[in-house]
């Protein structure tokens, strides 16, 4: 399969594996990627995901145009790829992106659906769609201006300019820029830190942030209280607070399951 899925110690490593084509996504790969996200989301063994690309040259350069252009010309719309872009798929387990080269078009768009992002010093990013007469409608038109300053988002979308990993860090797109050989090890360190936390609290926090983004402030505060109460009433909260009070490491019930 061109999307590799491997679970290690609570971490699902999802690898886009077509390095000879810069990890460009075929139509089948979009479906496989969507299924990998769903499998991780439904698996009790998985607490966090790491998404990366095979090889050193590319994370993902988006759709394979030799397939996607005829597909779109035949009247199919890119909504068929929504699940791979996590546009309507509830996914409350954290996703860490490890970007190891070119991250363009649909690959860049998928990055915006992840939660914590690391990139190699050699990574490059761009949204070239407007130069092809189309728009980056794989979630970018919704997500990007909510994640970084409006003017920066519009410059990327409207000019198609390429930016370096350091620039992406300064824009607020990335959390860390690391040396290429350290990329996956640093991603796994972050993942390990998350797996040590309460799965109920981690997923509850992500769910709340996603749901509250689109709500008016007063309604958001009310919804935050309801979602927070749901987590506070879980056995993990009782265990975590007791462990803190007694100065011991917590043994969260949901992690044992």
79 and 204 together in one domain: no
**Longest alpha-carbon distance in the chain:** 64
The reply to whether 224 belongs to the active site is no
Residue that finishes a domain, picked among 177, 195, 213: 195
115 and 226 in a single domain? The answer is no
Catalytic status, residue 80: no
Residue 245 burial (CB count, 10 A): 8
Q: Indicate the pTM of the whole model.
A: 0.94
φ/ψ (deg, to 5) at 234: -80, 150
Percent of the residues in the chain that have a pLDDT greater than 90, as a whole number: 87
Whole-angstrom Cα distance, residue 183 to residue 174? 13
CATH number, position 15:
3.90.226.10
Query: Which one of the listed residues 32, 39, 45, 109 is annotated catalytic?
Result: 109
**130 and 219 within one domain:** no
256 pLDDT higher than 90:
no
Whichever domain contains 221, its CATH number is 1.10.12.10
Q: State whether 242 and 117 are in the same domain.
A: no
Q: Which residue has the higher pLDDT, 178 or 239?
A: 178
End-of-domain residue from the set 172, 195, 218 = 195
- For residues 93 and 39, membership in a common domain is answered with yes
Instruction: Pick the closest to residue 202 from 189, 190, 214, 213 (CA basis).
Output: 190
Q: Which strands make up the sheet holding 162-164, listed edge to edge?
A: 58-60, 102-104, 124-126, 162-164
Domain check: are 219 and 177 in the same one? no
Q: Are residues 60 and 129 in the same domain?
A: yes
Model confidence over 81-132: pLDDT tens digits? 899 999 988 999 999 999 999 999 999 999 999 999 999 999 999 999 999 8
Is the CB of residue 45 less than 8 Å from the CB of residue 5? no
Tell me, yes or no, whether 187 and 60 share the same domain. Answer: yes
Tokens of 209: 């942030």
Domain extent, residue 76, equals 3-195
pLDDT tens digits for 24-40? 999 999 999 999 999 99
Same domain flag for 24 and 136? yes
3-state secondary structure (DSSP) of residue 227:
helix
**List 129, 192, 196, 207, catalytic entry:** 129
Q: Mark whether 10 and 127 lie in a shared domain.
A: yes
- Which DSSP symbol is given to 25? B
Select from 195, 223, 243 the last residue of a domain.
195
Give residues with Cβ within 8 angstroms of 56, minimum separation 6: 100, 101, 180
Domain count, the chain: 2
65 and 140 assigned to the same domain: yes
- For residues 14 and 135, membership in a common domain is answered with yes
């Amino acid at each position: 399969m061109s999307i590799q899925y491997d679970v290690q110690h609570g971490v699902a490593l999802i690898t886009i594996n077509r390095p000879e084509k810069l990890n460009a996504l075929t139509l089948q790969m979009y479906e496989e990627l969507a299924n990998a996200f769903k499998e991780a989301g439904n698996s009790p063994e998985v607490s966090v995901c790491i998404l990366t690309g095979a090889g050193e040259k590319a994370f993902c350069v988006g759709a394979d145009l030799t397939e996607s252009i005829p597909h779109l010309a035949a009247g199919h719309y890119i909504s068929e790829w929504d699940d791979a872009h996590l546009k309507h798929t509830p996914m409350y387990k954290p996703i860490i992106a490890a970007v190891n080269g070119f991250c363009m078009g649909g690959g860049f768009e998928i990055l915006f659906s992840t939660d914590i992002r690391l990139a190699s010093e050699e990574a490059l990013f761009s949204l070239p769609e407007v130069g092809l007469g189309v728009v980056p409608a794989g979630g970018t038109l919704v997500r990007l201006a909510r994640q970084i300053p409006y003017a920066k988002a519009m410059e990327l979308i409207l000019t198609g300019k390429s930016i370096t990993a350091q620039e992406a860090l300064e824009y607020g797109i990335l959390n860390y820029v690391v040396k290429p050989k350290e990329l996956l090890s640093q991603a796994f360190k972050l993942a390990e830190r998350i797996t040590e936390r309460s799965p109920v609290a981690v997923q509850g926090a992500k769910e709340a942030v996603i749901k509250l983004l689109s709500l008016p402030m007063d309604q958001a505060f009310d919804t935050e209280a309801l979602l927070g109460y749901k987590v506070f009433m879980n056995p993990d909260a009782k265990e975590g607070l007791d462990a803190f009070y007694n100065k011991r490491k917590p043994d969260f019930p949901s992690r044992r399951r």
